[in-house]
């Protein structure tokens, strides 16, 4: 059984755990699903892929993905959630996934997601060791390029549940800080492989990143879930590189901030939030 307090703690602690220190459980065949893998690459296209990746594709070689199931750094008793990793050597990108399966004890609420969702992404130079539970998958370059092309001009308006989460978060923040009056926000759509909700709050010049297992419950109950809200004021919390953050956690890289603004403003939906 999972408590609200522990849910937030796990969300904070899991991504920070070094992958090399986790045991490798049996490989989950769900990680080989072709449609899911293409969706993962589509997610990476918006949030992580850069010139280095596309330069690596000039050779015409197929896209390589290394996948494995992993154990979390911390897991509550009764929590049956499973985790996985995907490493894209051509992008030097490591993605960590979670498939939620637990109960929020205080609410008697079952939280169970239909598949694996991204909870963390980082750039990693290392090459996976096959002995550590990794499995290599290959996708044809033409098929992947078609996936990227299809996403290029797509306007992804957020679904009602995503709007509800974003508006509720802004109202809470406005109430907490004493902000009055209508607030204009831009809300990004969530893909099928992530539960993060990104919001650009125009009045406050702030990006919000809302994280949680919100796709795993009845939409009517989603605001009851323990959600983690990270706040990034663009004039204070944006750095060129995380290496200059000097130990601060409440920062975002210039690259990620730019991508978030693009996905929110150019590919999302503008909403007026009334207080």
Is the confidence at residue 13, as pLDDT, over 50?
Answer: no
Query: pLDDT (tens digit, 9 = 90+) per residue, 25-74?
Result: 899 999 999 999 999 998 999 899 988 888 888 888 899 999 999 988 88
On whether both 235 and 102 belong to a single domain, the answer is no
Query: pLDDT (tens digit, 9 = 90+) per residue, 219-245?
Result: 666 667 778 899 999 999 999 987 787
On whether both 140 and 12 belong to a single domain, the answer is yes
* pLDDT (0 to 100) of residue 127: 72
8 against 134, higher pLDDT: 134
On whether both 99 and 80 belong to a single domain, the answer is yes
On whether both 123 and 188 belong to a single domain, the answer is no
* pLDDT (0 to 100) of residue 238: 94
Q: Domain ends where: 152, 182, 211?
A: 152
Query: pLDDT (tens digit, 9 = 90+) per residue, 74-86?
Result: 888 889 999 999 9
In sequence order, which residues have a C-beta less than 8 Å from that of residue 257 and are 6 or more positions away? 207, 232, 234, 238
On whether both 141 and 170 belong to a single domain, the answer is no
The parent domain of residue 220 ranges over 160-273
* pLDDT (0 to 100) of residue 179: 95
Q: What is the mean pLDDT of the chain?
A: 84
d(CA 236, CA 148) in angstroms, rounded, equals 33
Contact 86, 118 (CB under 8 A): no
185 against 155, higher pLDDT: 185
* pLDDT (0 to 100) of residue 150: 78
On whether both 68 and 93 belong to a single domain, the answer is yes
Is the confidence at residue 91, as pLDDT, over 90?
Answer: yes
Q: Domain ends where: 152, 172, 204?
A: 152
Q: Domain ends where: 97, 123, 152?
A: 152
On whether both 145 and 165 belong to a single domain, the answer is no
* pLDDT (0 to 100) of residue 61: 85
Chain centroid to Cα 48, Å, comes to 11
On whether both 168 and 227 belong to a single domain, the answer is yes
Q: What is the arithmetic mean of pLDDT over 176-187?
A: 95
- How many Cβ atoms from other residues are within 10 Å of residue 58's Cβ? 7
* Domain count of the fold of the chain: 2
On whether both 17 and 148 belong to a single domain, the answer is yes
Contact 83, 97 (CB under 8 A): yes
Q: What dihedral angle (degrees, nearest 10) is formed by the CA atoms of 53, 56, 61, 66?
A: -50
On whether both 130 and 147 belong to a single domain, the answer is yes
Task: Give the per-residue SS3 of the chain.
Answer: CECHHHHHHHHHHHHHCCHHHCCCCCCCHHHHCHHHHHHHHHHHHHHCCCHHHHHHHHHCCCEEEEEEEECCCCCCCCCCCEEEEEEECCCCEEEEEEECEEEEHHHCEEEECCCCEEEEEEECCCCCCHHHCCEEEEECHHHHHHHHHHHHCCCCCCCHHHHHHHHHHHHHHHHHHCCCCCEEEEECCCCCCECCEEEEECCCCEEEEEECCHHHCCHHHHHHCCCEEEEEECCCCEECCHHHCCCCCCCEEHHHHHHHHHHHHHCCEEEEECC
On whether both 147 and 202 belong to a single domain, the answer is no
118 against 58, higher pLDDT: 118
On whether both 18 and 127 belong to a single domain, the answer is yes
* pLDDT (0 to 100) of residue 247: 67
């Amino acid at each position: 059984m999972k408590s609200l307090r522990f849910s937030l703690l796990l969300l904070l602690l899991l991504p920070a755990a070094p992958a090399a220190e986790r045991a490798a459980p049996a490989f989950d065949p769900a990680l080989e699903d072709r449609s899911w893998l293409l969706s993962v690459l589509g997610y990476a296209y918006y949030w992580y892929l850069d010139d280095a990746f596309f330069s690596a594709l000039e050779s015409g070689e197929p896209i390589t993905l290394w996948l494995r199931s992993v154990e979390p750094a911390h897991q509550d008793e009764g929590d049956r959630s499973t985790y996985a990793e995907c490493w894209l050597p051509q992008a030097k990108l490591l993605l960590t996934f979670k498939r939620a399966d637990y109960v929020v004890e205080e609410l008697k609420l079952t939280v169970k997601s239909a598949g694996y969702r991204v909870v963390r992404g980082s750039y990693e130079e290392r090459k996976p060791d096959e002995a550590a539970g990794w499995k290599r998958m290959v996708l044809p370059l033409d098929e992947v390029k078609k996936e990227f092309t299809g996403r290029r001009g797509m306007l992804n308006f957020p679904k009602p549940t995503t709007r509800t989460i974003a508006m509720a978060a802004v109202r809470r923040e406005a109430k907490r800080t004493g902000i009055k009056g209508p607030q204009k926000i831009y809300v990004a759509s969530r893909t099928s492989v992530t539960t993060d909700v990104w919001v650009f709050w125009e009045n406050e010049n702030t990006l919000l990143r809302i994280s949680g297992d919100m796709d795993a419950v009845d939409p009517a109950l989603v605001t009851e879930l323990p959600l983690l809200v990270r706040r990034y004021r663009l004039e204070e919390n944006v750095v060129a590189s995380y290496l200059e953050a000097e130990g601060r956690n409440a920062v975002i890289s210039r690259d990620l901030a730019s991508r978030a603004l693009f996905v929110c403003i150019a590919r999302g939906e503008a909403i007026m939030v009334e207080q």
